[in-house]
Chains A and B, each alone.
Chain A
Amino acid sequence: MSDYEIHELMVCRVAAEVDDEGVVVMGSFTPLAYASYMLAKLTHARDVYIAGFDAVGMQPIQLSFTGAEAAAYKGAVCRWGMLEEINSIHLSNNGSVEAVSSAQFDGSGAINLSVIGDFDQPKVRLPGGAGAAEVIKMYRKMIAYFADHNTRTLVDKVGFVTGTRWKVGDESREAAGLMPGPIIVVTNLAVLVKDDDDRPFRIESLHPGVDAQTVVEATGFELEVPADGIPTTPEPTAEQLRLLREEIDPFGTVKLDFVGGKDRLAYLQGILDAEWERGVAAVRAKTP
């Protein structure tokens, strides 16, 4: 299947990490991860629990600005609050896959969502990490995804550690009371994996048409390049593309993070126009 866009390949690759065990949580504005979770639950991971907002055990939903939250509640088996959720999911080792996208990420598995520059009077004050500071350590698998693989984002060492994977190898994780599992980085160029405290990330697969040298040059931390050949990241299947385009994300919310500069505002406006039309049509349909 060659007629796909890069964000669709990335959605499918992140979805492949979701399995039938445990709970995945929709974090703060990570639409690519949301689409991955929905795709997984509609295909190979039908038993996974998804929590979005305070709707726990949701059915898969169609993504949109105005519909996602309401849809989450329509299909959920519990309606909780934050403390109940952190106790039951994060702190009780029920979290399976945590996908983040940070301003900076480094080769130790640390993220920076706090500041660029001095902490107390920063050059750029970033949003903060919310639960990610703790959660990327606790979940069975940590995924970091980036729409633009470059050395400003994938850095040697983050300027500020908002949170970190802390223990990486299965043995050291289990010794610390954590579930064993890797860190997986999915970008527009490649998939990187780290599963050992003492070894750097290695290139797990290259996206079609990308060579290893390009990935190494776009990465600010040390990378292991397997000498015996690197597989190509699987392309989306026709059925995955149909689910993504027609069911999960017909408004195109995932692509928003892949549209740069002033095109982004116009793209965003296009999504909002389509959602407004949907609302207006619904009102009109009800009016006698």
Chain B
Amino acid sequence: MARNKVVQLEEMGALVSDGDTVALGGSWYSNHPMAAVRQLIRAGRKDLHAMTIVGSVDVDLLAGAGVIGHLSFSMVTLEAFGLAPNVRRGVEGGTLGFTEFTGLGLLIGLEAGHRGVPFLPYRGPFGSDIPAHYPDYYSTVTCPFTGEELTAVRAINPDVAIVHALRSDAEGNAQWDGTSGPDVDMAQAARRVIITCEEIVSRDVIVANAHMTKVPGYYVDAVIEAPFGAHPTSHIPVYPVDPWQLMEYAAAASGDGWPEYVERIRAESEEDYRSRVLGNGRDDVLRALVEEARVLGVSEA
């Protein structure tokens, strides 16, 4: 009998300790582990060091709810809905510590962490002002064979990675169909891995779709079922981004209504959240928009 790693979302708070470095999966407006983010707020976690490649409403919400004390990122944006208001306020006001990585540098640091080597070299961001600000992460190294000078990035091993999958079995064999972003790279580099997923399935379902498994269970510590767990970001092919909710978020985070916005999330369960935000058939409209998505000029088979 395989090990059963399934826990409830409500136990999320016990899986992450104050002060942990937490890598959050997803990228652009896609597949951020939002149910987990909301639960970290409900659990009252604080002083987390969040890490994202291209962060969105996930890290901005955590910053605005006072959960994180430091943010490592290569980009944070609400895209069409503007700069991330809470991250901006925190950085500009000096209350949120930050480390700005170059995008490839951060991914290569995670790869070094995964391989267990102290650093990895690459032809880096020559001419960029970023590396000089972070000598603890960026340096240079001379190739022992050719003499070429390369950028060296120090290995990064987050304490925890939280990533959202399409489905997983109880052992943590996790599958994605659409956008996985940096999820696999973060899971491989982190000391502990929490998988949230749209659906927990039997091992048979995983085996029948084995080509979709991107994180096998030996990396994974906990598996949590969280339907619409990336909402209001997307989880393709189940639901697209919810731009109406992102617009409401951007308005709340930029205006006077922010304390109420956070308090409402803190006070409700994840099930309450779903019925509040996805009720009245909104979930069906979102699902239908995935089907409506149009490919142009496909050549005949």
Contacts and interface: CB of A to CB of B under 8 A. Distances in A.
Q: What DSSP secondary structure best describes chain B's contact surface?
A: mixed
A162 interface: yes
A227 interface: no
Interface in A142-185: 160-164, 166, 177
A1 interface: no
A131 B183 CA distance: 16
B285 A70 contact: no
A51 to B, nearest CB: 12
Given A62-B296, A81-B183, A122-B91, A127 B75 contact: yes
A126 interface: yes
Contacts of A121: 91-92, 94
Contact of B130 (A59, A125, A133): A133
Interface stretch (A13-21, A186-194, A279-287): A279-287
B11 interface: no
B103 A129 contact: yes
A39 B97 CA distance: 42
Contacts, number: 232
Contacts of B87: 125
A91 B83 CA distance: 29
Interface of B: 27-28, 30, 53-54, 73-77, 79-80, 83-84, 87-88, 91-92, 94, 100, 102-105, 107-108, 110-111, 122-130, 133, 176-185, 214, 234, 236-237, 240-241, 243-244, 247, 281, 284-286, 288-298
Minimum-distance CB pairs A-B, first 4? A131-B103, A70-B293, A67-B293, A133-B102
26 contacts: A54-B180, A62-B294, A65-B240, A65-B241, A66-B240, A67-B292, A69-B178, A69-B236, A73-B177, A79-B177, A81-B181, A82-B53, A119-B129, A125-B87, A129-B103, A131-B102, A131-B103, A133-B102, A133-B130, A134-B103, A134-B105, A161-B127, A162-B129, A163-B125, A272-B247, A275-B289
